[in-house]
Amino acid sequence: MLGFFSFTEITDPAAHEAYNAWHQLDHLPEQFTIEGITFGQRWVRSPRCVDAEAVSDTLLEPFHYMTLYLMRDDGCLPAFFALAKRLAAEDRFFTARRALLSGPFEVVGRWAAPRVAVSPGAVPFRPSQGVYVVVGPAIDGAALVDQHGVAGAWQFADAERDRTVTVAFVDGDLWQAAAGIGPACARIDGPAPEWAGPLERVDAFRWDWFATLTPQ
């Protein structure tokens, strides 16, 4: 199984609402027409998330949104990329964006908190308040599920770039979970994470996180 990530920067500060409408109402639904894509969701790095994050390095400092697709295997990738080309040809691709980190990662670990009834493989499909994400070195996913509010965690690896992305799915208070996980991320032995912090869920038609930051 693969996870395809995109950490995306919106390059026009006034374009967040247009980007969210495009992604949520057009782009994301089209992905589910591809056989083998089992999950797709996007989260926002809101100003409150920025205030709560533990680590931010140069590569991911500008990103605003993280998208994750789950694919049964790499057989989905040709159709995935072909769809992107078709939508671009139909003028259905959003241009005021930049992918800072994007590509397929192999699923290398899955954990569920003892308090939840579902198996580790079912965790992403449960409703959640948001996620806590650590990009960089591998961390102990089993320890994450002991944190307050964490329902489970998945870990993804890109061996070629020696990078992992660990995603903790939070069904409790996102900010309380971040307060528990963040200090531990900042104390990781060895290479420091490239980025670690909470991301809020994206609800339909509620896209106003950056409205007060848009130049008038």
pLDDT, one tens digit per residue, over 148-167 is 999 999 999 997 888 999 99
Q: Please give the CATH number for the structural domain made up of 2-204.
A: 3.30.70.100
Provide φ and ψ at 79, rounded to 5°.
-70, -35
For residues 166 and 144, give the distance between their C-alpha atoms in angstroms, rounded to a whole number. 10
Which pTM does this prediction carry? 0.94
- Using 50 as the pLDDT threshold, list the residues of the chain that sit under it: 214-216
Strand locations in the chain (E) = 2-10, 37-44, 55-56, 65-71, 97-112, 130-136, 150-158, 163-170, 195-201
Look at residue 161 in the predicted model and tell me its pLDDT: 82
Q: With 0-12 CB in 10 A as exposed, 13-18 as middle and 19+ as buried, what is 14?
A: middle
C-alpha gyration radius of the chain: 17
Question: How far from the centroid of its chain's Cα atoms is residue 3's Cα?
Answer: 10
Look at residue 213 in the predicted model and tell me its pLDDT: 55
Look at residue 216 in the predicted model and tell me its pLDDT: 42
Contact 107, 158 (CB under 8 A): no
Look at residue 159 in the predicted model and tell me its pLDDT: 79
Look at residue 185 in the predicted model and tell me its pLDDT: 75
For residues 44 and 182, give the distance between their C-alpha atoms in angstroms, rounded to a whole number. 18
3-state secondary structure of 212: helix
Look at residue 187 in the predicted model and tell me its pLDDT: 67
